[in-house]
Structure 1
Amino acid sequence: MLKCWLLTVAILLVLNHAHSQTCPDRRALQNVTAYWKNLNDENKGEYDDSINFYILENHTLIHIVKANVSVLCDGMVKNFFRLKYLALTDANISKILPEAFQQVPRLTSLSLAVNHLTSLKKDQFKNLQQLKFLYLSSNLIEDIEKDTFDELVNLEKIYLDKNKISEIESQWFLNNFQISLINMAFNKISKLQSAAFTLPKNSAVEIRLQHNDIEEIEERAVIPGGTDEEEPYLTLHLDHNDLKEIPSAFIKSMDNLHSSLYFNNNSITCISSETLNTLKNSAVYLHLVNNPLNCSCISNIKKFLKENQMRVPFYYNSTNDCYLYDLQVPNEWNETDRY
């Protein structure tokens, strides 16, 4: 009997030790620097550089300005029934366990920006069905499991900028039908593969991919989610990348999609006739400011426009010393318009 009791105690000690190793910072939120308030309160809120996070459970907005939490453990954010806005920034978080968030039914905005996260896993956000805004900027994220955001059925805006993402998984946002903004600027993406993004129906979607290393865009990198009668509107930012040409197959795959495509500040030297022909009857607005368009190409563009007696809907100038007029989109063709 004594042996059984000793064995039970030993097992419990081992399990407790293992749990403490998995989650060494269970009490880390008991002493944080924070700002908090109730949104319907006219006061500016309160601030304390040493407060227990858990005594703030009746507030609707909590911003933890500074903490030392290496692991966000199971149940560390639990039973905050009124909480709508939570920020855990600059808190040294490097890992989130699947049950870290429990019983926060009104949480609509979560910021985990400026931490040390290197990966995002399935089930980390599974209890946050009401979440609309997710801020993950300025971490070290390289890997994201394909089903990570599936439970966030009301997600509208996600910020993944200033991380180390090098490849986009086509399944990441496939089930986020309310999405309107995906910010992945300032990462290490070099290629937009086919079906990188599938747009939801009847939505205006903005995708920010500025300041990456993008050199290649495959055909149908962006797939419309609506029918011909219910086209979404796309704003795609590809400024400050390493593109040397406008991929005509990609533009052709977009010709029935209302969109504004920003290729500013790349290394594009010319626009192919195939791309120009595609743009003639499309709803694509092309922005090509501050690219090294060569002078002969500019001459060919002007000739093409004049021969077709129309203006292609794009805006451009050249970093080369070629004089040209910035193109605008007129209400109707006017033969006296200058090029």
Structure 2
Amino acid sequence: QSLFLINDEIADIVKNTFSGFSDLHTLGLDFNNLTHVKKSWFTGLTNLHYLSLSKNKIEQIDPGCFKNLPNLHLDLQHNLLQVIDPVWFSGRRYLSYLYLGYNKAKIEDIEENTFRDFSFLTTLGLDFNRLRHVKRSWFPFLQGLSFLTLSNNKIEQIDPGCFNNLPNLLHLDLERNLLQIIEAAWFFGHSNIRSLYLGFLTLSNNKIEQIDPGCFKNLPNLLHLDLQRNLLQIIEAAWFFGHSNIRCLYLGYNNIRSIPFNAFQNLNILDELSFLTLSNNKIEQIDPGCFKNLPNLLHLDLQHNLLQ
């Protein structure tokens, strides 16, 4: 069963309003004027799985507010939250989806152990905030996380081994931040973990000028790598050392001027690459045979360059 009270200018909810709705599965309270989320609102909602409170004016949330809501998918996007307080979620072990993006007040940091009880969390959205430093201490308990978006922040720094405690992370979105270098240590620093499950990595629209050699070797399942709209000037085979599974590589909208013969020369790199885009660069020269070590390449995009 579902109940949607959307765009009704609701500013508060009377205690126990939903106490007789024990079979309610979905509750939508979007586009209202709620400022304070109270624990008393959710009494009796033992079967609630989807709660959307997006596009309100929420600044305050009661401690343990979501404690008795099992397997919850929680949307708190587009509010006025400035911090993520662990007490909101105390006793809340089975949260599966949490969206905290687009907060107008902009979250700038996350307290250590905020997600301590979130071992069942699969999706975490922290986009469109003011995060600057992604810390390893944020993620020690998120063993089940598969989708993490940190796009549209102001991220300049990522701790070594930051993602090592996310063994099931499939999709990592770091688009539209202020990163200047991709460090190999992000993916394997200070850890005994030999490889990560990551399949989709988005780093477009940053200020990336440098990529560490062998940066992706601990990501054997990486299929999709987006490096568009950065400040890369060259392509180096060393970036992909030890990696052969990438299918789609996006290098458009950079400052690449030439593609040398050895750009993809090393053996056993990019053997599975089928889609390569180099459009909207400043490419004037492509050396003969530079793509010969890409045996499965099906789509090559060189539009909008300076080739004659």
Q: TM-score range by the shorter chain?
A: 0.7 to 0.9
Tell me the residue number matched to 1:112. 76
- CA 1:144–1:310: 2 relative to 1, 3 Å: closer
The residue type equivalent to 2:176 in the other structure is: H
- Alignment partners' CA distance in 1, 2:9 and 2:18: 13
Tell me the distance in 2 between the aligned counterparts of 1:222 and 1:95.
35
- 1:317 and 1:50 map into 2 onto residues whose CA distance is 49
SS at match of 1:117: coil
Shift of 1:321: 4.2
5 Å-filtered alignment, 1:276-295, equals 276-277=237-238, 279-283=240-244, 285=246, 286-295=249-258
How many residue pairs get aligned? The number is 277
The structure with the largest alpha-carbon Rg is 1
2:112 and 2:137 in contact (8 A); partners too? yes
Distance 1:98 1:64, change over 3 A: same
For 1:294, the aligned partner's letter is: R
Residue 50 (structure 1) shift = 6.7
Match of 2:58 among 93, 111, 133: 93
Match of 2:160 among 186, 194, 214: 194
> What is the aligned partner in structure 2 of residue 167 from structure 1?
133
Counterpart position of 1:17:
none
- Kept in 2, the 8 Å contact 1:70–1:95? The answer is yes
Specify which of 278, 303, 308 is matched with residue 317 of structure 1: 278
Q: TM-score, normalization: structure 1?
A: 0.71
Distance, in Å, in 2 between the alignment partners of 1:262 and 1:246 is 13
CA contact (8 A) 1:64 1:87 kept: yes
Structure 2 CA distance for aligned equivalents of residues 270 and 112 of structure 1:
41
What runs of 5+ residues in structure 1 fail to find an aligned partner? Answer: 1-37, 40-44, 333-339
1:129 & 1:76 partners in 2: Cα distance?
A: 19
Shift of 1:248: 2.2
Work out the CA distance in 2 between the residues paired with 1:220 and 1:292: 25
Deviation at 1:107, TM superposition (A): 4.1
Aligned to 2:109: 143
The percentage of counterpart residues that share the same residue type is: 21
Contact map agreement 1:122 1:146 (CA 8 A) in 2: no
Using the TM superposition, give the Cα deviation of residue 118 of structure 1 relative to its aligned residue in structure 2, in angstroms. 0.7
Structure 1 residues 240, 226: CA separation in 2 closer, same or farther (over 3 Å shift)? same
Q: What is residue 94 of structure 2 aligned with on the other side?
A: 130
Q: Is the 8 A contact 2:53 2:76 kept in 1?
A: yes
Unaligned runs of 5+ in 2: 298-308
User: Are 1:81 and 2:43 an aligned pair?
Assistant: no
Conserved in 2, the CA contact under 8 Å of 1:207 and 1:237?
A: yes
Contact 2:26 2:48 in 1 (8 A): yes
2:142 matched to 1:180? no
Question: Higher helix share goes to which structure?
Answer: 1
Q: Which residue pairs with 1:157 in the alignment?
A: 123
Separation (CA, whole Å) in 2 of partners of 1:185 and 1:256:
20
Deviation of the 1:167 alpha carbon: 1.0
1:310 CA drift (Å)? 6.9
1:266-288 residue CA offsets vs partner (Å, 9 max, x unmatched): 0100134xxx1462532463532
CA distance 1:199–1:316, shift in 2 (3 Å)? farther
Give the alignment's TM-score, normalised by structure 2.
0.77
Query: Aligned partners of 1:94 and 1:112: how far apart in 2?
Result: 11
Q: Choose the corresponding residue for 1:266, options 230, 236, 240.
A: 230
Name which of structure 1's ranges 65-74 and 321-330 shifts more when overlaid on structure 2: 321-330
Higher strand proportion (structure 1 or 2)? 1
Cα distance in 2 between the residues matched to 1:98 and 1:154: 20
- Give the superposition deviation at 1:127: 2.9
Contact 2:243/2:268 (CA < 8 Å) preserved in 1? no
CA distance in 1, matches of 2:130, 2:263: 42
